[in-house]
């Protein structure tokens, strides 16, 4: 849709231009008219034209003066002056205003159509550039989220070198002075509505994340968050020495504020663990381990656990659940067994009765099966837990859990090593069906029920290509067929294979085939002949 405003005090000239445009232009055109400069100014503000045909010589406010006023509020509108031979004295002023073309009256049909065609091309290019900028902005936003998730995953699970830490900070455009890690666990059972699906949990985690970031931003704390894991992992980063919001004495009040605001806004209870402060990036992993240990600690006194009685712990330590889940997720047998020993110690020291302890351990098994399911075919973990559920004594219960953990790790290892990994095959089918759409790595990973970070690594390992390269190859493969088997234009083909910008499509095509789509089509046709 293109909007054109015709401004001329002579009705005959307006009618002639309208007729030429309606007959000669195939594109959808919306036309408005004005009879003088003052009316042109008013209509330009309400109609928002793309092109204005503006007569220079009009009574009252002339075309030059009207154009100057219009340019003040709409610098992008394209202006074409309608002028007689003896009015070229205005040319210098017109150029200063930024006129896009002149048409000498009486206007010939060919001249009008040629000018409009040129200006429509300019509008199309401008819109395409704007769309590309918006698209790039959206992709950058998505990439930033992905990078942030990857950054926190590496910090909390694998550890990171100082050099890599600085690289992340640079890409995320953040200075670093000191930081604390943190973990938020949403207690879904406290939500007024039953939360059963992964989607519901993810929505609540996103809402919780938004509140966290909003509160911390007001305090001058930069926050990086990963919500791909079962709990929310975050990094509280200070970029200047003077900000003391992360000092130990301020942590209890900060936790209380976050817990209170989230409860008030989304009506769900959470527990938060804040880790030790660090200035050396290589200490980040220790800070996250500290945060795990602090999950569930009372913000009023960080040395006392909630639900404690003396030195006997009433409830199953959340830190053990979080640590076990992450160890299972990456298939780290040594860490799994180390945490299992801590579970044994808890079982022996807890004052809970056997049924209560068994209930907590069954909940842990459910969490582990849910975490592992992301790597199994159809998103289901079928590792048997019957013996755990039927166990009637401590020895049999703990022994059954040990067997369950080993079987689970073995199954995960097998899934990770097979050539045709079910999750990756599912991803490839998803790409084959949706390559025409603007699909992302995060969307595809979610479809396969994998974290975007883990999916990215696994996809590259199995396919020897990055997700983007695989998607690009699939699109170009389809473009090859359309170039050879149809008479569609390059613009039409680019849209058919998922590229809104034909110029960008051409650049990608050249990168793959070392020739333009047009040359590719011509060369193949010649060879076939």
Confidence of residue 458 (pLDDT cuts 50, 70, 90): confident
User: Does residue 160 fall inside a structural domain?
Assistant: yes
Q: Categorize the per-residue pLDDT at 132 as very low, low, confident or very high, splitting at 50, 70 and 90.
A: confident
Binned at pLDDT 50, 70 and 90, residue 461 comes out as confident
Closest CA to 397 of 347, 324, 322, 326: 347
pLDDT at 197: 79
Distance CA(455)–CA(448), nearest Å, equals 8
Q: What is the mean pLDDT of the chain?
A: 83
272 and 158, same domain (yes or no):
yes
Q: Does 293 share its domain with 380?
A: no
Please indicate, yes or no, whether residues 339 and 392 belong to a single structural domain of this protein: yes
Query: What burial class does residue 401 get, using C-beta atoms within 10 Å of its C-beta: 0-12 exposed, 13-18 middle, 19+ buried?
Result: buried
Share of the chain above pLDDT 90, in %: 25
pLDDT tens-digit readout, 274-303: 988 888 888 888 888 888 878 766 544 433
For a pLDDT cut of 70, what percent of the chain falls above it?
88
What CATH number has the domain bearing residue 520? 1.10.10.60
Residue 54 has pLDDT above 80, yes or no: yes
CATH code of 41's domain: 3.40.50.2300
CATH of the domain at 201: 3.30.70.270
Domain boundary among 253, 268, 300: 300
Q: Look up residue 515 and give its DSSP letter.
A: S
User: Residue 101's domain spans which residues?
Assistant: 2-107
Average pLDDT over residues 517-526: 79
Q: How many domains does the chain have?
A: 4
pLDDT digits (tens, 9 = 90+) for 74-100: 888 999 988 875 555 666 566 667 778
Report if pTM > 0.75.
Answer: no
Q: What is the pLDDT of residue 390?
A: 92
The reply to whether 123 falls in a domain is: no
- Asked if residue 138 is part of any domain, the answer here is no
Same domain, 321 and 288: no
Q: For 319-345, what is each residue's pLDDT tens digit? A: 788 788 878 877 788 989 999 999 999
The residue out of 395, 417, 439 marking a domain boundary is 417
Q: In what order do the strands lie in the sheet with 101-104?
A: 29-34, 2-7, 51-55, 78-83, 101-104
Q: How far lies 89's CA from each of 53, 56, 83, 95, 450, in Å?
A: 18, 11, 10, 11, 70
What is the rounded distance in angstroms from the CA atom of residue 230 to the CA atom of residue 187?
12
Q: 277 and 150, same structural domain?
A: yes
Residues 195 and 255 in one domain: yes
Q: Domain check: are 288 and 337 in the same one?
A: no
Q: How far apart are CA 364 and CA 360, in angstroms?
A: 6
Residues 65 and 158 in one domain: no
Would the pLDDT of 439 be above 60?
yes
Regarding beta strands 2-7 and 51-55, do their DSSP bridges make them parallel or antiparallel, or are they unpaired? parallel
> 345 with 444, same domain?
no
295 plus 156 within the same structural domain: yes
């Amino acid at each position: 849709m293109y909007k054109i405003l015709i401004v001329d005090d002579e009705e005959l000239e307006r009618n002639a231009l309208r007729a030429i445009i309606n007959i000669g232009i195939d594109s959808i055109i919306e036309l408005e008219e004005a009879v003088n400069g003052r009316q042109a100014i008013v209509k330009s503000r309400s109609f928002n034209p793309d092109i204005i045909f503006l007569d220079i010589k009009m009574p009252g406010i002339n075309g030059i003066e009207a154009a100057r006023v219009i340019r003040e509020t709409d610098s992008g509108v394209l202006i074409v002056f309608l002028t007689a031979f003896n009015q070229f004295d205005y040319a210098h002023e017109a150029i200063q205003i930024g006129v896009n073309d002149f048409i000498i009256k009486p206007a010939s049909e060919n001249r009008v159509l040629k000018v409009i065609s040129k200006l429509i091309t300019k509008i199309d290019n401008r819109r395409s550039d704007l769309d590309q900028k918006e698209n790039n902005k959206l992709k950058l936003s998505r990439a930033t989220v992905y990078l942030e998730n990857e950054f926190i995953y590496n910090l909390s699970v694998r550890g990171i070198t100082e050099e890599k830490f600085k690289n992340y900070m640079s890409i995320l455009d953040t200075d670093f002075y000191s930081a604390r890690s943190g973990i938020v666990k949403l207690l879904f059972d406290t939500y007024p509505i039953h939360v059963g699906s992964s989607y519901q949990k993810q929505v609540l985690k996103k809402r919780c994340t938004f509140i966290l970031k909003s509160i911390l931003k007001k305090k001058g704390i930069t926050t990086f968050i990963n919500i791909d894991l079962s709990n929310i992992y975050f990094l509280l980063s200070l970029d200047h020495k003077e900000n003391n919001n992360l000092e130990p004495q301020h942590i209890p009040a900060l936790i209380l504020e976050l817990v209170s605001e989230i409860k008030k806004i989304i009506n769900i209870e959470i527990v938060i663990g804040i880790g030790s402060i660090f200035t050396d990036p290589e200490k980040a992993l220790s800070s996250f381990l500290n945060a795990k240990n602090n999950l569930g600690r009372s913000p009023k006194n960080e040395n006392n656990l909630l639900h404690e009685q003396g030195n006997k712990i009433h409830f199953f330590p959340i830190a053990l659940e979080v640590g076990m889940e992450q160890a299972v997720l990456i298939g780290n047998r040594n860490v799994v067994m180390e945490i299992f020993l801590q579970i044994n110690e808890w079982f022996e020291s807890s004052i809970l009765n056997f049924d209560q302890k068994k209930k907590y351990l069954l909940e842990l098994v459910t969490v582990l099966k849910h975490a592992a399911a992301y790597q199994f075919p159809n998103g289901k973990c079928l590792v048997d837990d019957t013996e755990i559920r039927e166990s009637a004594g401590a020895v049999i219960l703990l022994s059954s859990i040990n067997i369950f953990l080993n079987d689970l790790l073995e199954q995960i290892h097998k899934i990770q090593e097979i050539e045709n990994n079910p999750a990756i095959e599912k991803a490839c089918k998803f790409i084959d069906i949706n390559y025409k759409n603007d699909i992302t790595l995060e969307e595809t990973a979610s479809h396969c029920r994998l974290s975007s970070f883990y999916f990215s690594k696994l996809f590259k390992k199995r396919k020897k290509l990055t997700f983007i390269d695989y998607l690009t190859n699939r699109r170009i493969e389809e473009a090859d067929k359309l170039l050879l088997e149809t008479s569609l234009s390059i613009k039409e083909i680019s849209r058919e294979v998922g590229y809104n910008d034909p110029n960008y499509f051409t650049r990608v095509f050249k990168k793959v085939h070392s020739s333009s789509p047009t040359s590719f089509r011509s060369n193949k046709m010649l060879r076939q002949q």
